[in-house]
Structure 1
Amino acid sequence: MALAFDEYGRPFIILKEQERKSRLRGLDAQKANIAAGRAVARILRTSLGPKGMDKMLQSPDGDVIISTFSFFLSFSLANDGATILEQMDVDNQIAKLMVELSRSQDYEIGDGTTGVVVMAGSLLEQAEKLLERGIHPLRVAEGYEVASRIAFDHLEKISQKFEFGPDNIEPLVQTCMTTLSSKIVNRCKRALAEIAVKAVLAVADLERKDVNLDLIKVEGKVGGKLEDTELIYGIAVDKDMSHPQMPKRIEDAKIAILTCPFEPPKPKTKHKVDIDTVEKFQTLREQERKYFDDMVQKCKDVGATLVICQWGFDDEANHLLMHRNLPAVRWVGGVELELIAIATGGRIVPRFQELSPEKLGKAGIVREKSFGTTKDRMLYIEQCANSRAVTIFIRGGNKMMIEETKRSLHDALCVARNLIRNNSIVYGGGSAEISCSVAVEAAADRHPGVEQYAIRSFAEALDAIPLALAENSGLPPIDTLTAVKAQQIKENNPFCGIDCNDVGTNDMKEQNVFETLIGKQQQILLATQVVKMILKIDDVISPSEY
């Protein structure tokens, strides 16, 4: 028991002896932290690459889920490292750091969430060996920092730039196909990659090299097959016309976009209307009808041929709209209204009195499309004046497939966005990691201090990605890695990687297996930062002890 004394000589307890014994400190704490981080990495390791294995998870209510990374929902599918870590019930604080690592990669790059965790786990494994040899954790962290910079710069050297444009999208498509190769939807990877690239180019500002992914709406509906997924140069809204007798197709539509109620105004204060005769009641009804009739007439006077309203209106008003030949759509969400306004070049009208001809949006075609039964309909707004808002409409046999396709397309969209920001690529299949490993190993000789051991360990940790790819593809990992590394050195070809798909060549350039340079660099930097943070922790104190 640790005691201290106040200014009057009275003792008080700082820390109880049994609590001091229950705490892990020094090397024991570091080993425990490393074990927690490696445990998370082992979960994701077997799912890396195009031949990765599936996982079976159990949701809190006892439902069993068979998936390749799944949400904790009944019978949902996913194939993303960030997804499973996001939904795992993690108590250990170091494991939570690994979850944050994957989340950071997903937020910044959108792809590579599995690889960054596997790399961090390998760095921790190598660091544990150095700690057991008596090397101070700070020296290990410093060596890792030096090695990560060497690998970062080497990636720049082996990267290649490619030119792309509206007429030359093949490089972008090939890179997105690499991302989709490890997904459940890989059988349609070519079609989905083309959709993702065309959607990004439609909303991209190529002069500023900026892409706002919020302008790409991803919508899905159960039914049909995955091959029916389409790109709509406009907006698809999961609504239909407010009255079944309204026209289902409007050409050269002029759209009034309202966020105000399309009905007579109601006083905002409490009120009471005393009506004691039938004549007064009829007069009130006539006034309300006349007010709404004037609203409809104003819409027609400004030239509107379609009204899209955020709020609803009653059946009587709906009937009047139908008779006055003014189609309308009600209960449209605020986000969808913004996208419609962007796509059609219109202005959202918050007060009905502000409606004017210049605030109307314009679209070439507005049509209602039926799916399956006649009750399931959607509204397509196409051929818009400003096509810088598009919709990817996904079809699938069940909700699981649609949700997985949405997550897969998110990764592909992020990859295409990253390539527009920086059109440098490296080649996949573990070729970049193997080349960096060789470069870091060679650079270790130039550092005479203890950091040399950490730099060599970093080089060995980089081999974890190609080893996992080979193992998951059913190849002998050690033999395959050594053969590819020897081939890289002999031929001076940094594009040699693991032939996961058994194509017959190790040259990833010939296989068109691309990855973004900034995504690969981000993986190395993030993994190194988290490992350095974990190595500097030498005591774990739980707040429940005090």
Structure 2
Amino acid sequence: MAFSVPKAPGFAQMMKQGSKNYQGLEEAVYRNIGACQELAKTTRSAFGPHGMNKMVINHIEKLFVTNDAATILKELEVQHPAAKMIVIASQMCEQEVGDGTNFVLIFAGAMLGLAEELLRMGLSVPEISEGFEAACDKAIELLPDLVCNTVSDLRSVETVTKALKTSIASKQYGNEDFLAGLIAEACVGILPSNRIQFSVDSIRVSKLLGAGVQSSKLVNGMLFLRECESDLKTVKDAKVAVYTCPFDMLNTETKGTVLIKNAKELLNFSTGEEDLLSAQVKAIVDTGVNVVVSGGKVSDLALHFANQHKLMVVRLNSKWDLRRLCKTINATALPRMTAPTPEEMGHCSVVRQDEIGDRNVVIFEHLAKEDSRINTLALRASTENILDDLERAVDDGVNNFKVLTRDQRQVPGAGACEIELAKQIAKFGESCPGLEQYSIKKFAQALEAVPRALAENAGLNPTEVVSKLYAAHQEENGANKGVDIETGDVIDAAEDGILDQYLTKHWAIRLATNAVVTVLSVDQIIMAKAAGGPKPPKQSGDWDKDDDE
């Protein structure tokens, strides 16, 4: 009689052999909390102006050296399901307000660590979740009372510069004054009459290797890393025709065959083609056009006639570049090389070829700032990695301006907002009668993670800094007191111009709490065994051949 091996009892007997099942606090909840805390620990040291850079090499071996949490998470490709929930929460914050990703990670990691302590004390998951949600609602309710500044005039470069400085300092500490001024000028210059219609895509970035960050400049229009095809390199008061087709002879609708019997007929045929192309170029010039932009190749013959008629020719390979240029100069892209009507023509103050560093660039510039619909920041730096980091700082600055067009309120930075919320939420926890008060107090304690991270990364004693801040916040009018990361002293964040956007804080607190509650509500992890079936052949293999052939 053959022996039969019985299947494992319980849940495992329902599943395919090889599947895994984790359940309960020890196996599922603590395991998830541990993964999320490890993720938060990774980006915590990159937080604030003194945040350390991470060197990330992605799956195609591209190197990133950055302290931008959004980029780090994107390139890490986190696989753990619970950690992925925290990543999604930070990505939602990035989509909603364009900033605050690291805040979400640090705050969520701190909340989960403290939730684990409560679970070990004997509290149930629903009690902890209810407490966190009540504390989150209280924080959102208290946040408007902490507003210390409202950006009064979004068309004032000086006012906008002050509002953007803090977010840029966390990415480019030391260059924040210069970069904030540059970004503010670019954003204010193209702000529509209805400010809600401001588009982040209207600020373009061109990265030019060489020189230093302070050599970066603003172009009221568009800058392309190309050179002119024609001999003419500068045109003032330009009238521009934009074509998506090549700058060459128009192809006939149908194929044709020409029978040529002698050399004279061949000469007449090629002369006829030349005359036709010359007539096409002349028809374009007669409309007043003095700059042609082509989306395809530029033939030598067409270029010859363009030079003859003093016509500037620029070639752009990207259809996106063509579309943005049309928006900048208010032109219509034409699919065939025909003479444009006055409505289809674009207008620009100057089109010129310039040299920046060792790169030739073509600039379509509006001398009157109000005429420009798209502005370009020409960024300069000594290495590609610094240029990439500068681009991320610009992206954060532009997104912060976009947030200001929706809500002009600002709260104090430098950890002041978090400590004031922690103080008031802890007080609120004392007044709650149920077991939820423990998780409400832990929520308040989790908010301390932000000033602690700032202090740690600046080489200060975090416990000493937090105790100083609490003492300062007990005083009258102490709600704006934050930490000076250079000296460790307590400063007035509002007076020193260290300000965070109200909407960023609002969404970061809400999204972090939602992610934490979702992670805590998981009590079982089931990993089904992968389905069977033929494995794919090796690189040099063949489906039809056996291994022994």
| TM-score when normalising by structure 1 | 0.90
Structure 2 residue aligned with 1:26, among 16, 21, 24?
A: 24
The equivalent of 2:522 in structure 1 is 537
What pairs with 1:77-156 in structure 2 (closer than 5 Å)?
77-156=65-144
Shift of 1:114: 1.1
Shift of 1:491: 2.5
Residues 503, 356 of structure 1: CA spacing in aligned structure 2 closer, same or farther, 3 A cutoff?
Answer: farther
Shift of 1:486: 1.8
Which amino acid is the alignment partner of residue 196 of structure 2?
Answer: K
The equivalent of 1:68 in structure 2 is none
Give CA deviations for 1:445-482 in whole Å, capped at 9, x if unaligned.
33222222221111111111111112222222112101
* Distance across 1 between alignment mates of 2:277 and 2:67: 52
Structure 1 residue aligned with 2:275, among 278, 286, 290?
A: 290
Residues 17, 357 of structure 1: CA spacing in aligned structure 2 closer, same or farther, 3 A cutoff?
Answer: closer
* Distance across 1 between alignment mates of 2:153 and 2:477: 32
Shift of 1:14: 1.5
* Distance across 1 between alignment mates of 2:154 and 2:44: 37
Structure 2 residue aligned with 1:525, among 507, 510, 519?
A: 510
Which amino acid is the alignment partner of residue 34 of structure 1?
Answer: I
| TM-score when normalising by structure 2 | 0.89
Shift of 1:352: 3.4
Shift of 1:79: 2.4
Give the secondary structure class of the aligned counterpart of 2:288: coil
Which amino acid is the alignment partner of residue 46 of structure 1?
Answer: S
Which amino acid is the alignment partner of residue 229 of structure 1?
Answer: S
* Distance across 1 between alignment mates of 2:47 and 2:203: 28
Contact 1:30–1:538 (8 Å) recurs in 2:
yes
Gaps of 5+ in 2: 1-6, 532-549
The equivalent of 2:456 in structure 1 is 471
* Distance across 1 between alignment mates of 2:199 and 2:461: 43
Shift of 1:272: 4.8
Shift of 1:182: 2.3
Give the secondary structure class of the aligned counterpart of 1:154: helix
Which amino acid is the alignment partner of residue 24 of structure 2?
Answer: G
* Distance across 2 between alignment mates of 1:291 and 1:360: 23
* Distance across 2 between alignment mates of 1:468 and 1:143: 24
Residues 238, 3 of structure 1: CA spacing in aligned structure 2 closer, same or farther, 3 A cutoff?
Answer: same
The equivalent of 1:47 in structure 2 is 46
* Distance across 2 between alignment mates of 1:474 and 1:161: 30
The equivalent of 1:173 in structure 2 is 161
Contact 2:226–2:361 (8 Å) recurs in 1:
yes
Which segment is superposed worse, 502-511 or 492-501? 502-511
Shift of 1:262: 2.4
Give CA deviations for 1:419-451 in whole Å, capped at 9, x if unaligned.
122100001111111111111111113322222
Contact 1:79–1:182 (8 Å) recurs in 2:
no
Shift of 1:171: 3.6
Which segment is superposed worse, 378-387 or 321-330? 378-387
The equivalent of 1:212 in structure 2 is 199
Contact 1:109–1:418 (8 Å) recurs in 2:
yes
Contact 1:240–1:379 (8 Å) recurs in 2:
no
Give CA deviations for 1:271-300 in whole Å, capped at 9, x if unaligned.
554444323332332232122112211111
Which segment is superposed worse, 222-231 or 255-264? 255-264
Give the secondary structure class of the aligned counterpart of 1:227: helix
The equivalent of 1:383 in structure 2 is 367
Contact 1:49–1:472 (8 Å) recurs in 2:
yes
Which segment is superposed worse, 466-475 or 514-523? 466-475
Whether 1:240 aligns to 2:238 is: no
Which segment is superposed worse, 324-333 or 279-288? 279-288
Which amino acid is the alignment partner of residue 216 of structure 2?
Answer: T
Which amino acid is the alignment partner of residue 365 of structure 2?
Answer: I
Residues 181, 493 of structure 1: CA spacing in aligned structure 2 closer, same or farther, 3 A cutoff?
Answer: same
Contact 1:257–1:307 (8 Å) recurs in 2:
yes
Which amino acid is the alignment partner of residue 460 of structure 1?
Answer: Q
Give the secondary structure class of the aligned counterpart of 2:227: coil
Shift of 1:16: 6.5
Residues 525, 269 of structure 1: CA spacing in aligned structure 2 closer, same or farther, 3 A cutoff?
Answer: farther
Give CA deviations for 1:239-285 in whole Å, capped at 9, x if unaligned.
22112x22x22111111111133222224666554444323332332
What pairs with 1:422-441 in structure 2 (closer than 5 Å)?
422-441=407-426
Give the secondary structure class of the aligned counterpart of 1:23: strand
Whether 1:194 aligns to 2:181 is: yes
Gaps of 5+ in 1: 5-11, 62-71
Contact 1:164–1:172 (8 Å) recurs in 2:
no
Give the aligned length: 522
Give the secondary structure class of the aligned counterpart of 1:219: strand
